[in-house]
A and B are shown apart, each in its own frame.
Chain A
Amino acid sequence: MLSVRHLTKTYRAAGEQVAVLRGVNLEIAAGERVALTGESGSGKSTLLHLIAGLDRADGGDIRLADKLVGDLTDAGRAELRRDRLGLVFQQFNLIPSLNVEDNLAFQARIAGRHEPAWHAELVERLGLGHLLKRYPEQLSGGQQQRVAIGRALAVKPLLLLADEPTGNLDEATADQVLALTRDLVARTGCGFLMVTHSARLAATLDRQINLHAGLIA
């Protein structure tokens, strides 16, 4: 489902070229749950951003659902994210002016794939029933992240990409949120790639990949 070949990415920082990714190769099968670990600055988030089409690679290929991400235009990459991917960030990135219900349904609605039954199931499984009319600022970190996960899965994506989804949460909440995510990923059958610093959480997924100095270790 996802195939990454010889991926390179260099940034310019303080007048110097810094090679963040130096030829990454990665395969993720449908329904597979993979943890991407590595120390700070190893290129984990960069790799995730490139797969999501949020940034462009300098070299190599990313093939997702038989499409080469690098060949897509801005609109094509937007379509890919909208219809095929679910994204979850450490900072939740909810829309502050929409309530929980609208935040949850947002991506599915703009993708034209809003399914009320699936929406209701997500609400129930994520335990958001009593919070639907609240706004993000009125929620705790764990609640906000549950909404973000629900929004990402509402489109039934091919692949769920999560960048440190539990980074802002305490240990118990993090465990709870990740357990919910695993259940829902299993329910939808989508692939799951999660960036994390926590070896404990990484161990709960099917496979672990360690990124070191821009290369898969």
Chain B
Amino acid sequence: MSRIIWILAVLLSHWRRHPMQLATLLIGLISATALWSGVQALNQQARSSYDRAAAAFGGARTPMLAGKDGAAFPQRLFTDLRRAGWPVSPVVEGRLQIGGRSFRLLGIEPVTLPAEIGNAPAIGKGNSQAFIAPPGQTLAAPETLSELHEPEGASLLASNGASLPPLHVQPQLAPGVLVVDIGVAQRLLNMPDRISRLLVGPAKEPRLPLETVAGDRLRLVAADAESDLERLTDSFHLNLTAFGLLSFFVGLFIVNSAIGLAFEQRLPMLRTLRACGVSACLLNAVLLLELVTLALAAGIIGLVCGYLIAGSLLPDVAASLRGLYGAEIPGQLTLKPQWWIAGLAISILGALAAAAASLTKAARLPILVAAQPQAWQQQQRRWLVIQCGVALVVLIAAGGCLWFGDSLLSGFAVLAALLLGAALALPALLELALSLGQRSARDALVAWCWADSRQQLSGLSLALMALLLALAVNVGVGTMVETFSRTFITWLDGRLAADVYINASDDARANEIRAWLGQRPEVQAILPGGRAETEINGAPVEILGLPDHATYRDHWPLLRSANNAWVRLRPGDTGFVSEQLARRLNLAIGDHIDMPAPGGNWTLEIVGIYADYGNPKGQVAVNFAALTRRFPNIPRTRLGLRVAPGEIPALMSALQGKFGLDGRNLIDQATLKADSTRIFNRTFAVTTALNSFTLGIAGVALLTSLLTLSNSRLPQLAPLWAIGITRRQLASIEVLKTMSVALITTLLALPLGLLVAWCLIAVVNVKAFGWRLPFDVFPLQLLELVGVAMLAALLAALIPALKLSRMQPANLVKVFANER
């Protein structure tokens, strides 16, 4: 044991003498672990919220009986089914406005609630009395109480004036959900004697067939391991994971470069250890022990950093998920022990992967030095050819995935293969560019520069590959976000064509407002709006009513349409479908769809397809009058107004004064657009942050590689110094060389990045969200990135160059002394 400790002490003593190298190694491991575990923390946080939502009293995890058209059904069916041996429990569900925010209200019946439902124990036998008996309880997650700014025990008042039972905390519930007794929920939601669905427990006795009891009014919905929310948000999390993985690999490049340098510098030490009687097996075991110890230390720091990163990104991620999918994520990070263990494991595995080449070399280390530079160079050349071959295979695989793949995963596979192939091909491309430069050089010093850059290539290639990946992803994601941003603003202009939007509390109030507005001369048009909900192939679909008015005809963002589409929309037998619904159902102009409606299926011919960015649900737009005929019970509380320019503020104050409308139900177009743009920007804040992190890590990778190389560069530089080139000149040449190689890499990264952008826009986005954006190139953005890359390269090159320019001549002389 003491032998191991002594050998370990010797190995560790290297780091004491080279603290910068140790710092580099730790920075690489810490950043790799931090970004990976940070992203995993965000994913885990979101997934556990989905689990809570899915398990909440009749979520997707419980089998249930629902109405055929998704509508509520008579409570009598519950008693009929219980008598027929069905272990069912009723649930009422709806939305409730409290303090300007909308909450999901669930009404349950605790006595019949199946015991298998995760949240049931908290209101099990002991507590059910308090839950049912007056004043009852309103169960809510701690996050919901914080959002409401109410303590436990407080009684809430809904916007319609109805009061809720006192609040009671139940941590298992998802945020934004309120659970009350079924009778209370029926009163609050105005659903007397009606229920939304029936939860089905495991049958202990024979039961009559469903059809015999309920006819065709109910359908059995099987339990689903994956909730709708999980399915919807899969793409978002896959995106985050892809970023985390990219940062992880870029971090590992740094580790690889630091370990590679340490190995090269420690070669004489390792040989001495072997000569002093340390067996190869023991030496490798201790090298492994050293690496694992360092990885563990870095892993712990990385996890803490990952926690901080996740904590700082969580509000933006939560905003993105709420904005994109309506998913509620608590704002406080709670992490499971598995996260910590997985983080440490990934740090150790990453370190082992990054050190694999060095460890293998150490295992095969001959004790006697065999100086074979020629053989080494030949081996490098062979490896370059193999690497090129692998790059070609990977790029062909990318093409194959693009051609044959038809899923989100295949989209990401295209991206991954494209990036990997390009990174693998980079050293060969650089070698080609540098050798062309060398051939065209006339001046001896310039020719040396090219030749020396080629020689440096093997040491720098990993860092340059990291730079290429980071830049390409930056170009790709930057182009996509910019394209999305511009398209989104144009689209928003089309969708928000009215000047003022009103949402009245009920139909009667809406009529009053409409009558009052009819007498106002500044109001040029009153545009009623309405929405209904239905399901097509089991997926929720919104039906939007559009009044027949020039405001919509002139602005609505139609992507494709039949001739006279707006005229043909009037009778009510045609409709427009959103792009994502058209893609999901493979619909084209002229096709027909059947939509379940209260009076029977509504068959519509598709006469237009429009953009509906950011909406996870499919949408169909029909004539408003036709919608109210088919769905007579929908609220007609939404109004859009066209108002003479300059009259909007006065009209809004008048509406506020007359009808008590406030910011929640009266908003002007400019505010609505500003809010939407703010949400949009927040959605992409996470992407931008991760993008910057990746580029930052690539910069560090370049710096560490240059520092690594600078230590072994003296034998190349000392002869030049000896023949009369000053240290300052040498330092300038070193900077120029680094900048040239970085510039070539950056120029190669630009087309690769545009290819990545095209993949994101034309493949990944379409599969993930169901919409396709136009592909645009933004030259200024590209120039800016070239500038950033050059700045990063300059900063990375400056430190070793400064070190060189200030080096004592004695150190340069040593090169010749050692060569004796």
Query: Which residues from chain B contact A41 at a C-beta distance below 8 Å?
Result: none
A-side contacts of B279, CB under 8 Å: 74-75, 78-79
Tell me the chain A residues, 91-144 only, with Cβ under 8 Å from chain B: 93-98, 102, 106-107, 109-112, 135
In the complex, A82 has a CB within 8 A of chain B: yes
Is B16 touching A110 in the complex (CB atoms < 8 A)? no
Contact between A79 and B277, CB atoms less than 8 A apart: yes
B8-52 CB mask vs A (1 if < 8 Å, else 0) is: 001001101110000000000000000000000000000000000
Q: Is A54 positioned at the interface, with any CB of B under 8 Å from its CB?
A: yes
Nearest CB of A to B13, in Å: 4
**B residues less than 8 Å from A106 (CB atoms):** 6, 10, 276
Whether the Cβ atoms of A87 and B276 lie closer than 8 Å is yes
Whether A78 lies near B278 (C-beta < 8 A) is: yes
- A9: min CB distance to chain B, Å: 12
Q: Mark B337-367, 1 if CB is under 8 A from A, else 0.
A: 0000000000000000000000000000001
B442 beta carbon closer than 8 Å to chain A = no
Q: Which residues of A contact B271 (CB under 8 A)?
A: 93
Return chain A residues, CB-CB under 8 Å to B550: none
Report chain A residues within 8 Å CB of B447.
none
Cβ-neighbour of A111 out of B277, B280, B367 (below 8 A): B277
Whether a CB of chain A sits under 8 angstroms from the CB of B3 is yes
A94 touches B276 (CB 8 A): no
Residue of B nearest to A155 (CB): B277
For residues 790 through 820 of chain B, which have their beta carbon under 8 Å from a beta carbon of chain A?
820
- Whether B3 pairs with A87 at a CB distance below 8 angstroms is no
B residues within 8 A CB of A83? 277
Asked if A109 and B13 make an inter-chain contact with CB atoms under 8 angstroms apart, the answer reads: no
Q: Return chain A residues, CB-CB under 8 Å to B276.
A: 81-82, 87, 106-107, 110, 151
Chain A residue at minimum C-beta to C-beta distance from B276: A107
When distances are taken between beta carbons in the complex, the residues of chain B under 8 Å from A74 are: 279-281
Determine the distance from Cα of A145 to Cα of B740 in the docked complex, in whole angstroms.
45
Residues of B within 8 A of A94 (CB): 272
Q: How far is the CA of A75 from the CA of B275 in the complex (A)?
A: 12
Identify whether the interface residues of B are mostly helix, strand, loop, or mixed.
helix
A97 near B367 with CB under 8 A, answer no
Q: Cα distance A177–B367 when bound, in Å? A: 26
Task: A97 to B21: give the CA distance in the assembly, Å.
Answer: 13
Which of A102, A106, A151 counts the most B-chain CB atoms under 10 A from its CB?
Answer: A106
Output the residue of B6, B273, B368 with the most chain A CB within 10 A: B6
With A74-B281, A97-B269 already in contact, the answer to whether A55 and B368 are too (CB < 8 A) is: yes
Q: A81-B276, A96-B17 are in contact. Are A168 and B820 (CB under 8 A)?
A: yes
A212 at the interface (CB under 8 A from B): no
Contacts A93-B268, A106-B10, A109-B6; is A54 near B368 (CB within 8 Å)? yes
A80 contacts chain B at the CB level, 8 A cutoff: yes
Q: How far is the CA of A98 from the CA of B15 in the complex (A)?
A: 11
A98 CA to B16 CA, complexed, in Å: 10
B633 at the interface (CB under 8 A from A): no
Instruction: Quote the shortest CB–CB distance from B704 to chain A (angstroms).
Output: 20
Interface string of A36-72 (1 = CB under 8 A from B): 0000000000000100101100000000000000000
Q: Which single member of A54, A97, A111 contacts B275 (CB below 8 Å)? A: A54
A96 & B269 in contact (Cβ 8 Å cutoff): yes
Which chain B residue lies CB-closest to A79? B277
Against A, the Cβ 8 Å flags (1 = close, 0 = not) of B264-304 are 00001101111111111110000000000000000000000
* Cα distance, A97 to B7, chains bound together (Å): 12
Shortest beta-carbon distance from B791 to chain A in Å: 35
Which one of A80, A93, A95, A135 contacts B10 once the chains associate, using CB atoms below 8 Å? Answer: A95
| Distance to closest chain B CB from A69 (angstroms) | 13
Looking at the assembled complex, report how far the CB atom of A194 sits from the nearest CB atom of chain B, in whole angstroms.
16
| Smallest Cβ-Cβ distance to A54: which chain B residue | B367
Least CB distance from B21 to A in Å reads 11
Q: How far is the CA of A95 from the CA of B268 in the complex (A)?
A: 8
Q: Given contacts A75-B281, A78-B274, A97-B269, are A110 and B820 in contact (CB under 8 A)?
A: no
CA distance A176 to B751 in the complex (A): 68
Bound-state CA distance A95–B3 (Å) is: 16
A93 and B272 in contact (CB under 8 A), knowing A55-B368, A112-B2? yes
Give the complex CA separation of A110 and B275 in angstroms: 12
A116 to B14, CA, bound (A): 25
Structural contact, B13 and A97, CB atoms closer than 8 A = yes
Question: Which residue of A is nearest B283, CB measured?
Answer: A78
Question: Most chain-B CB neighbours within 10 Å: which of A81, A85, A89, A102?
Answer: A81
A78 touches B277 (CB 8 A): yes
- From the candidates A49, A110, A112, A151, name the one contacting B368 in the complex (CB within 8 A): A49
Closest to B3 in A: A110
Structural contact, A52 and B275, CB atoms closer than 8 A: yes
Contacts of A78 in B (CB 8 A): 274, 277-280, 282
Q: Which of B3, B13, B268 contacts A112 (CB 8 A)?
A: B3
Give chain A nearest CB distance to B371 CB in angstroms. 12
Q: Which of B10, B18, B268, B277: most chain A CB closer than 10 A?
A: B277
Residue of B with least CB distance to A151: B276
Complex CA gap A83/B278 in Å reads: 10
Q: Are B277 and A80 in contact (CB under 8 A)?
A: yes
**Separation of A80 and B783 alpha carbons in the complex (Å):** 64
Which chain A residue has the least Cβ–Cβ distance from B4?
A: A110
B349 to chain A, nearest CB (A): 28
Residues A107 and B280 in contact, CB atoms below 8 Å apart: no
Nearest A-chain residue to B820, judged by Cβ: A168
Q: Which of A54, A83, A112, A151 has most B Cβ within 10 Å?
A: A54
A-side contacts of B272, CB under 8 Å: 93-95
CB distance from B689 to the nearest CB of A (A): 39
Residues of A within 8 A of B280 (CB): 74-75, 78
Residue numbers in A under 8 Å from B6 (CB-CB): 106, 109-110
Write the chain B residue with the least CB distance to A11.
B370
A110 touches B367 (CB 8 A): no
Q: Which residues of A contact B274 (CB under 8 A)?
A: 78
**Of A49, A82, A89, A96, which contacts B277 at CB under 8 A?**
A82
Scan residues 112-169 of chain B and give those whose CB is less than 8 A from a CB of chain A.
Answer: none
Residue among A49, A97, A112 with the highest chain B CB neighbour number at 10 A: A97
In the complex, the answer to whether A82 meets B278 with C-beta atoms within 8 Å is yes
Q: In angstroms, how far is the closest chain B Cβ from the Cβ of A61?
A: 21
* CA distance in complex: A112, B368 (Å): 25
Which single member of B269, B277, B367, B368 contacts A95 (CB below 8 Å)? B269
Contact code string A147-181 (vs B, CB < 8 Å = 1, else 0): 00001000000000000000010000000000000
**Residues on B with beta carbons closer than 8 Å to the beta carbon of A93:** 268, 271-272, 275
Q: Could you tell me if A95 and B13 are in contact, using CB atoms closer than 8 angstroms?
A: yes
Assembly CA distance A74 to B280 (angstroms): 7
**How far, in Å, is A183 (CB) from chain B's closest CB?**
23
Chain A residue contacts of B7, Cβ below 8 A: 110
What is the CA–CA distance of A74 and B365 in the complex, to the nearest angstrom? 12
Residues in chain B near residue A87, CB distance under 8 A: 275-276
Cα of A49 to Cα of B820 in the assembled complex, Å: 22
Q: Give the Cβ gap from A54 to chain B, nearest Cβ, in Å.
A: 5
With both beta carbons as reference points, the residue of chain A lying nearest to B2 in the complex is identified as: A112
Tell whether, in the assembled complex, residue A110 and residue B278 are in contact, meaning their CB atoms are under 8 Å apart.
Answer: yes
Output the nearest chain A residue to B273 by Cβ-Cβ distance: A95
Report Cα–Cα, A109/B3, bound state, in Å.
7
Question: Contacts of A102 on B, CB cut-off 8 Å?
Answer: 10, 13
Task: Name 6 A/B residue pairs within 8 A (Cβ), A-sorted.
Answer: A54-B367, A75-B282, A82-B276, A95-B10, A97-B14, A112-B2
Q: A55-B367, A93-B271, A151-B276 are in contact. List 16 more A-B contacts (CB 8 A).
A: A52-B275, A54-B368, A74-B280, A75-B279, A78-B279, A78-B280, A81-B277, A82-B278, A83-B277, A95-B10, A97-B13, A106-B10, A106-B276, A107-B277, A111-B277, A112-B2
Please report A residues at the B interface, Cβ cutoff 8 Å: 49, 52, 54-55, 74-75, 78-83, 85, 87, 89, 93-98, 102, 106-107, 109-112, 135, 151, 168
B residues adjacent to A (C-beta < 8 A): 2-3, 6-7, 10, 13-14, 16-18, 268-269, 271-282, 367-368, 820
User: Which 8 residue pairs are nearest across A and B when measured between Cβ atoms?
Assistant: A82-B277, A78-B279, A97-B13, A81-B277, A75-B279, A97-B17, A107-B276, A97-B14
